[in-house]
Amino acid sequence: MPVKRRLEKQRRGECSDVEWSVLADVPPPPEDTTNGIDFYLCCYHRRSGDINIAVPPIEDLWRMHGAEIVADWIAAHPGTRPLCWWEYDAPRHEGLRYTPELRIQVAGSGIPEPLRSENVKLEAFDIVYGIPTCWDEVDFDISPPAFEAEAVYLRRHGLLAPGELRRLKPADFEPEVLHRVIYTHLGTRIFTSKRRPHGA
């Protein structure tokens, strides 16, 4: 095994390749023989630490490895954060454990369903990178919803890392347009003006 890969394995500890792909927000390993089912279970398990499946809670693994993952992420993608950061470390929406505070919608049509619902199952709604995926009265073709950039969200909450702001360009602060939401066996994915799902 090459030295770099061996060191990476040591860094991951007991995490499987599939679990690490969820934690690090990278594509699932091509050698996954479960056709993505293990990846899906790990993704689902982000929010369901009490469900009866044979994988460790992703949140527990994130508490072990999240800080170094975020540091590496910022080095490569300043002004943004990986999915598990949004799941566990972003400011909470009205104190709900698994619902991050939404990024502000700055233009476009649509009403995010989580903001309209008083249902106690609010936490079950998908919110991906601070963008809601459940919509009402939305027209993605004529007037797609647009949100503040992740960099704006992070700056607004005082969450940019030391030196991170200096590395950002004006484009990093431009709004992010939600083009469409798709649902696959690997979970909910979003296409935006700045982000495409893994493998798309």
- Quote the pLDDT of residue 124: 45
Residue 59 region, left (φ>0) first, then alpha (ψ -120 to 50), else beta? alpha
Burial (Cβ within 10 Å: 0-12, 13-18, ≥19) of residue 151: buried
With a CB cutoff of 8 Å and minimum separation 6, the contacts of 127 are 86, 93, 99, 100, 102, 114, 133
Record the tokens describing residue 174, joined without a space. 């431009």
The per-residue pLDDT for 196 is 64
Bridge partners of 189, per DSSP, are: 182
Q: Are the C-beta atoms of 147 and 105 separated by less than 8 Å?
A: yes
Residue type, 163: G
pLDDT digit string (tens) for the chain, length 200 residues = 443 444 355 567 778 777 888 889 887 777 655 555 555 555 555 544 444 444 457 888 899 999 999 999 999 999 999 988 998 899 987 767 667 888 999 999 988 875 444 444 444 457 889 888 888 888 889 999 999 999 999 999 999 999 999 999 999 999 999 998 876 555 566 778 887 655 44
DSSP string, 136-176: ES-BTTTB--EE--HHHHHHHTT-PPTTTGGG--GGGGS-E
Q: What is the pTM of this model?
A: 0.80
Q: Where are the domains of the chain?
A: 3-192
Looking at the chain, how many residues does it have? 200
Q: How confident is the model at residue 163, as a pLDDT?
A: 95
d(CA 165, CA 155): 8
* pLDDT at position 103: 93
Continuous H helices in the chain = 3-12, 17-24, 37-45, 58-76, 83-88, 113-116, 150-156
Tokens for 123, please give them.
Answer: 């936490």
**pLDDT at 144 (0 to 100):** 93
CA 24 to chain centre: 10
Q: Report the SS3 class of residue 53.
A: coil
For residues 51 and 45, the answer to whether their CB atoms sit within 8 Å is yes
